[in-house]
Amino acid sequence: MENVVKITNAGALPVENLPEEPIAEIETTGEVKPEEPHNEAEIFEEVSIENSDKPIEHVRSPELRRRGSKLIMTFAAAVGAAAAARLALTDSAALQAVSQSFSGTFGAIFLRQTAFGAVFLSAELLLGFFALGDFLVWALPFLCASGTVLRLFANGSPKPIAGSVICVGAVIFGAAFSAEMSSLLMRLSRGGTVHLGESPRAAFSFKILGCFAAVLLGAILTAALSS
């Protein structure tokens, strides 16, 4: 026995009697406004560094810290100068050891003064490439200023003062640059990221080279006035 199911259209609405739905008309002007470019790509290009496979956070060195480093180094030099002045006034034996620093021919004075400043700048360059150099570099302006004051007291003449001040100033700036480089390495060792427009090592070396040029200028002036 076969089961037969008969399907009819009884009760269904005829197609021609279906209500027509209104079709919304879309007005087009023929001009398509282009989508504005996303700004994240532009931001990424500004903070990215060449040959880097990940975005680098752009962190500028605070100007307050730069000024603070110079103030600390200047203060250390002032303390060293004051300590040396007191030693020179109370202990004459300390003056005898450096009594010949500013005496001799032009070449001899120039070489001694250049070597004096170059020793401190070399130490500052070395400490700048260590993350912990920031805690030690302040001693260099202290020693440079104290040694300079002892040599000036031993000489007893104001002629070498101008050149000596230039030399001490170069050492102070070199120590500040060294402290900034050390703090940068310390920040990187803690996982921080810093974006600079140029190589930090090259910029630091160039600054130390500029300080050495100032030492040469001071040595020429000292030798010219003392010889």
Q: What are the 10-residue block averages of pLDDT along the chain, 227 residues in total?
A: 50 53 51 50 40 46 64 94 90 74 88 95 94 90 94 87 95 94 85 65 93 97 89
How many CA atoms within 13 Å lie on the side-chain side of 37? 5
DSSP, res 158 = S
How high is the pLDDT of residue 163?
Answer: 94
Smallest Cα–Cα separation from 219: which of 95, 102, 49? 102
How high is the pLDDT of residue 101?
Answer: 79
Smallest Cα–Cα separation from 156: which of 103, 82, 86, 198? 103
The pTM assigned to this predicted structure is 0.68
Smallest Cα–Cα separation from 95: which of 143, 150, 164, 161? 150
Per-residue H/E/C for 78-137: HHHHHHHHHHHHHCCHHHHCCCCCCCCCHHHHHHHHHHHHHHHHHHHHHHHCCHHHHHCC
Smallest Cα–Cα separation from 103: which of 21, 160, 36, 27? 160
